[in-house]
Amino acid sequence: MRARPGKAALFEQLAADEIRYMFGNPGTVEQGFLDMVGGSQTEYVLALHESVALGMADGYARAARRPGLVQLHTGVGLGNGVGLLYQAKRGGSPLVVLVGEAGVRYDAMDAQMAADLVGMARPVTKYATRVIDPSSVLRVLRRAVKIAMTPPTGPVLVVLPADVLDQVTTEPALPTAVPSTRVAPEPSVVSAAADALLGGERPLILMGDGVAASGAQRELADVAERLGAPVYGVNSSEVNIDTTHPLYRGQTGHMFGSTSARIVADADAVLIVGTYVFPEVFPELRNPFREDASVVHIDLDAYEIAKNFPVDLGIAADPRLTLAALAGELERRGRRAPPPPGRTRSAGPNGRSRTRSWSASPVPSASRPRRT
């Protein structure tokens, strides 16, 4: 590979990963690599404040399902963006944040704007690091993109000292390899989940943004209809289910745990998918679920499963594949999906279907295996 400055190689790596936009608010120490934008395939989107740049990148990343690239200006710029980085981490937004710095050579000087940038970012990012050698600029960038885009997705930060980017590198610019996490549970685990969920009289589903991240909206609705279970959003900001679906009951709220506790108090078979429970400011410290409730928790992020309260079955797997398998198991057991409550199809003029209302009732308890 030909030799060129790290700041030029950086944009070659962005092109290799098809990252077209950089959202940012520039400063002096980034001027060197920002001078290279004009001759690159990357479009710089200027913001007048760091929080705006992060907000735009967050929205882009969520909508495009691609890395949202952000450029921030050393310690003061990162300080202004910490709040939005916190929200991006909570929301699982795959941001790749590049923070400029004067140079490694100035570490001993305690100079103007000097700060521990990695230390500032670590609590609000999935991964934070600093490049200190020109031969690893692209290696670190690929690692950052991989970590940001590997579920559970989240923001990462790379500090780029100006004197490192000015030095020559021969690293090749190669597309980042993001590992597949589309994993499904074993059939015996799916069967155990069906046993637990069919063993109650009052099923309930609690869902979050892991559903949308997996593209599992249709599968979630299918399982809800087969169980006759109302669905509540917990850590839910994406469209995880059609909000006009008759089984959707709204959100549990984000402030007081007592609200969530009232919602789940009567449920004796609970399916949690794509979220942890419960993300309130003032959560309940006691277990809000019934002592005899069967709780099944599906999430690709094993850390979130049973994080705060015990569950009977935890499944660390892709929500879409897992819900599809669960729907298939329910179908095998004779739990066909009825028309959603409030909607049913009948023949209309010219043989076309038409929708009319119907009175929804829970699936008869006699058809559910009862726990002894």
Q: What is the pLDDT of residues 95-136, one digit of tens each?
A: 999 999 999 998 888 888 889 999 999 999 999 999 999 999
- CA–CA separation, 341 and 245 (whole Å): 8
Judge contact between 289 and 266, C-beta under 8 A. no
Q: What is the pLDDT of residue 214?
A: 94
For the segment 5-22, the average pLDDT, to the nearest whole number, is 95
Tokens at 319, concatenated:
């929500």
Q: Is the pLDDT score of 151 beyond 70?
A: yes
pLDDT of the residue at 357: 35
Q: Where in the chain are all domains bearing CATH 3.40.50.970?
A: 4-169
Residue ranges, CATH 3.40.50.1220, the chain: 187-341+351-358
Task: Report whether pLDDT(275) > 90.
Answer: yes
pLDDT computed for residue 366 by the predictor: 33
Query: Mean per-residue pLDDT for 296-305?
Result: 96
- The arrangement of strands across the sheet holding 231-233 comes to 248-251, 231-233, 203-207, 269-273, 294-299, 313-316
Architecture of domain 187-341+351-358: 3-Layer(aba) Sandwich (3.40)
What is the residue-averaged pLDDT of the chain? 89
Compute how many other C-beta atoms are within 10 angstroms of the C-beta atom of residue 256. 16
φ/ψ of residue 345, rounded to 5: -105, 140
Q: Residue 353: is its pLDDT beyond 80?
A: no
pLDDT the model gives residue 362: 36
What pLDDT is stored for residue 34 in this prediction? 87
* pTM score of the predicted model: 0.86
Q: Hey, what CATH topology would domain 4-169 get?
A: Rossmann fold (3.40.50)
pLDDT for residue 346 is more than 60: no
Q: Is the pLDDT reported for residue 348 higher than 80?
A: no
**Cβ proximity of 301 and 210 under 8 Å:** yes
Q: Is the pLDDT of residue 192 over 50?
A: yes
pLDDT higher than threshold 60 for residue 306: yes
* Residue linked to tokens 């043989």: 351
> Is the pLDDT assigned to residue 367 strictly greater than 50?
no
Contacts 24+ apart (CB under 8 A), 101-105: 101/29, 101/74, 101/130, 101/159, 101/160, 101/161, 101/162, 102/29, 102/74, 102/161, 102/162, 102/163, 103/161, 103/162, 103/163, 103/164, 104/132, 104/161, 104/163, 104/164, 105/163
What pLDDT score does 230 carry? 97
Single-letter amino acid, residue 311 = V
